[in-house]
Structure 1
Amino acid sequence: MNFEIDKAFNGGFEFAKKNYLLVWVNGFLAILSTVLASITIVGILIVPAIWAGYIESCLRIRRGKEVKMGVFFKAGFSQWGSFFILTVLCFLGFALGFLLLIIPGIYLMIAWYFVFYLKIDNPELTISEVFSKSMDIVSNVGWFKLFLFALIIALPVNIIDIYTFNLASVILFPFIAMIQVEAYILASGKEETEPQELIEEDKDKDDLFKDL
């Protein structure tokens, strides 16, 4: 676990900057699909799968894997039932928590911050294991540290949205998405090792050439 707020922001910003159009277009398609799906009751049931697919595409972007515009739905729909149950349980937990003097709801929002990321990354985990693992990760990171991270992301954008008619969110959501992905990567310890290995390999080659 190597989570630091500044690392999450810096790393997420860099990946969003390099892949801004791809993240933005896929996000727009996810929003459009959500609006169209929400027209019917049956359609509402697939909304969690749409966003799971989008998050999975952001994880692949972070890991340097190929992602195409508009091609991200399959990952979410392959576990449609799990993501629907996750969404329902989160909603019920948050609702009950906020009914109990708000503070329990805020606690659960942070404690369950990574449930979707974990299920996407670890399809073999059960629903209960995902909730438990998210709480373990948040405990290791520090609940208040992650709460501060979430507050820094949400509060400024929401304030600016008031004066820009939500234009800030339209422009900034690729950065927000990738910063959240970076936070998960750092907090879960699932940083890719391949880039570092390549760096070490290149360094060894340079040293070899110097010796020659």
Structure 2
Amino acid sequence: MEQGAQPFDFGRKVDPNTFEKLIQDGYEVDPSKYLKEGWEVFKSRPGEFIVFSVIIFVVIGLFSRLDFIGPLATTAVISPLYAGFIVVIFMLFKGREVQFGDFFKGFNYFLPLVLAGIVSGILVGIGFALLLLPGIYLAVSYMFVSMLIVDYRMEFWQAMETSRQIVTKNWFSLFVFFLLLFVVNLLGVLALGIGLLVTIPLSICSVCVAYRDIVGLHEAGELTT
């Protein structure tokens, strides 16, 4: 995490020129490579990934019992928990020592993550309600939002727009990757649901590999306290 950043700040604006060349020139997409390397990342810490997934499932179960504020409360908690996977995976990419408590450092990015989760959820929902295809487009296009927030401490709207612009450059190839991850998680569901404890963190590891290969990790970023 960047020094001095606080959980309840809005993040920061990043120079858009940082991504201009990538958006203009494009990039190659290799879904099978992302999944294969994501599996290697998962295998490096299988116990911690699975235990943290159990914690997330328990949290979702608890908040689902809340009638009125349940959906909002779930978003407010799940978004940072999901980002905890990203924090740990990026630390592993950078060869840093990881402790189980690092999974909870997604809360260091609380406000931009929650705002991104709420706004993107609303936009994707509207897209599905209207014509279906806009919802699918946005769901895939926002693939890298949480990664950009964690990696750059980026404010939520710029993260959403930057992810959309990057993904749109090679949207159909990343849609194939998205479908591959959907099938992987469907297999997790068919395995009595228990398989999701493996397939969900595996999917996040794979998306992080895709982010690393396509966008590149922000070398100045600090993922410690």
Tell me the TM-score normalized by structure 1.
Answer: 0.77
Aligned to 2:107: 77
Q: Is the 8 A contact 2:125 2:135 kept in 1?
A: yes
Equivalent runs, 1:52-131 vs 2, <5 Å: 52-73=83-104, 75-123=105-153, 125-131=154-160
Equivalent runs, 1:106-185 vs 2, <5 Å: 106-123=136-153, 125-140=154-169, 142-159=170-187, 161-162=189-190, 164-185=191-212
Aligned residue type for 1:69: F
Deviations 1:31-74 (A, max 9, x none): 3344345555385333322222232222222332222124422x
Aligned to 2:19: none
1:19 aligns with 2:45: yes
Q: 1:43 to 1:89 in 2, by over 3 A?
A: closer
2:35 and 2:218 map into 1 onto residues whose CA distance is 15
Aligned residue type for 2:149: K
TM-aligned CA deviation for residue 156 of structure 1: 4.3
User: Following TM superposition, where does structure 1 have runs of at least 4 consecutive aligned residues deviating by more than 4 angstroms?
Assistant: 37-40
Q: 1:119 to 1:160 in 2, by over 3 A?
A: closer
SS of equivalent residue, structure 1 residue 84? helix
1:191 and 1:16 map into 2 onto residues whose CA distance is 22
1:88 and 1:112 map into 2 onto residues whose CA distance is 12
Q: Which runs of 5+ in 2 are unaligned?
A: 1-26, 220-225
SS of equivalent residue, structure 1 residue 67? coil
Q: Percent identity?
A: 24
Greater length-normalized contact order (CA 8 Å, ≥ 6 residues apart): 2
> Cα RMSD (Å) of the superposition?
2.4
1:166 and 1:50 map into 2 onto residues whose CA distance is 20
Equivalent runs, 1:200-211 vs 2, <5 Å: none
2:73 and 2:129 map into 1 onto residues whose CA distance is 28
Deviations 1:131-186 (A, max 9, x none): 1210222133x100000001011124315623x32132233333222112111111
Q: Which has the higher helix share?
A: 1
Determine which of 34, 56, 60 is the counterpart of 1:30.
56
Aligned residue type for 2:185: V
Determine which of 174, 178, 188 is the counterpart of 2:215.
188
The number of aligned residues is 188
Deviations 1:62-96 (A, max 9, x none): 332222124422x3222212111111101101110
Q: 1:183 to 1:29 in 2, by over 3 A?
A: same
Tell me the TM-score normalized by structure 2.
Answer: 0.73
| Higher Rg | 1
Q: 1:24 to 1:9 in 2, by over 3 A?
A: same
Aligned to 1:9: 35
